[in-house]
Chains A and B, each alone.
Chain A
C-alpha cells in the first residue's frame, strides 16, 4: 500500500476541501490524518493518504490546480512513521509584540530540554503575535524549563506560559 504525503495550498475559496477530497476519493486514495486550515487568506492542506501511485495523484491534482490558484505537491513516504512519545504532554502559549525569531528561540529552548513539538500554530493579528505549541517533555524537566522559557521570553519581550495538558480518562 502506497502512503503519500500531499500538500495543497491556494487562495481560500469555498469548495477547496470538497474539490481536493473528491479528486482523491475518485482515485481510491484514502485520507488518513490531515490538517486543513486557513492561513492569512490562503487555504493550506497537509494530508497523508493511502492508495494510488504518486504520479496518478500528481496528475489528478495538477488538473485541479490548473483551474484555480492551487499549488499541490505529492510524495511517497514510509508508512507507519509513528514516533513513540518522549514524555508528558504540555501546552506552551506565547504572545506579545511581533518580531523576528520568536518561534525559533522558544522552540529551541524546548528542544534543548528534550522536548518534542507535536503540534504548533502561530497567528499574527496587527502587532500581536501568538504561538501555541503542544509539546512532549521528559518527566521532571517542566519546572526548570519554565525558568528558561521565561528568560528567553523576556529577551524577546513576549509572555510565555507552560501548562500540563494531561487528559482525564473517563
Chain B
C-alpha cells in the first residue's frame, strides 16, 4: 500500500510512543560501513518484515554502528551492506536540530509530506571525501513501521531531523546525496580536521 492510498489518517498512527532501542531487546553489533561505489548503495532496498528476527537484529546493529561513529546522526541498512529498507536516526544534541525524537529506527519508511525546501551542505559516511549542496524539505511527515512491534508510526518533524530522515530514506531507495546535488559546481572535496 502506498502513502497516497493510505491518506493522511493521523489517528491510525501513533508517534514513537515509548519505543526505545532497548525495546529491540537484542544487543547491537557494530558492522563495517561500506563506501561508494559499492553497488549496494545504488540499489533500491527491499521492504522488510519489521517483526522478523533478522530485522530486529539489523535495527540493533544500525543503532550500535551509528553510536560508535563520530558525528554520525543516521545510518541506513545499505550503508552496512544490507539491501533492506531500515535505518536509524539520532540528531540529539545537534546544533541545527529543532524537533528531536531521540534514537529511533524505522522500517519501510516513506515521505508523505515535504514542504519548505531549504539548501544545506551534506556529507555522508559512505562518501567520505565529498560534500554537496542539497535541497531538503525542512517540514516533513514520514510514515514507517517500528522494528520489533511492527507498529505503524507517523512522525512529524522539521529542521535537521527532517534532513537526516530524507537522507536515510534516500539511501533505502538507492540514492546518495550525489544524486541530488544542486549543480555541477555543488560538490566539494571534504576537509577532515584533526
Contact = CB atoms under 8 A, between A and B. Distances in A.
Interface of A: 35, 37, 85, 87-89, 118-119, 121, 134, 136, 165-170
A37 B123 CA distance: 25
A168 B97 CA distance: 11
Contact of B164 (A85, A119, A134, A170): A170
A165 B120 CA distance: 9
Contact of A170 (B163, B190, B192): B163
Nearest to B96: A168
B188 interface: yes
B188 to A, nearest CB: 7
Q: DSSP class of B's interface residues: helix, strand, loop or mixed? A: mixed
27 contacts: A35-B185, A37-B184, A37-B185, A88-B191, A88-B193, A89-B191, A119-B188, A134-B188, A136-B191, A165-B188, A167-B122, A167-B123, A167-B190, A168-B94, A168-B120, A168-B160, A169-B71, A169-B72, A169-B73, A169-B123, A170-B72, A170-B74, A170-B122, A170-B124, A170-B125, A170-B163, A170-B167
Contacts of B125: 169-170
Nearest to A121: B185
Contacts of B164: 170
Given A85-B193, A168-B160, 9 more contacts: A37-B185, A88-B193, A119-B188, A121-B185, A168-B121, A169-B72, A170-B73, A170-B122, A170-B168
Given A85-B193, A88-B193, A168 B163 contact: yes
A165 to B, nearest CB: 6
Interface of A is mostly: strand
Contacts of B185: 35, 37, 119, 121
B191 A168 contact: no
Interface of B: 71-74, 94, 96, 120-125, 131, 160, 163-164, 167-168, 177, 184-185, 188-193
Nearest to A170: B167
Contacts of A166: 121
Contacts of A165: 121, 188
Contacts of B120: 168
Contacts of B188: 89, 119, 134, 165, 167
Contacts of B94: 168
Contacts of B193: 85, 87-88
A89 B71 CA distance: 17
Nearest to A91: B121
B172 to A, nearest CB: 13
A39 B145 CA distance: 51
A169 B190 CA distance: 10
B66 to A, nearest CB: 11
B86 to A, nearest CB: 16
Nearest to A85: B191
Contacts of A37: 184-185
Contacts of A121: 185
A85 B167 contact: no
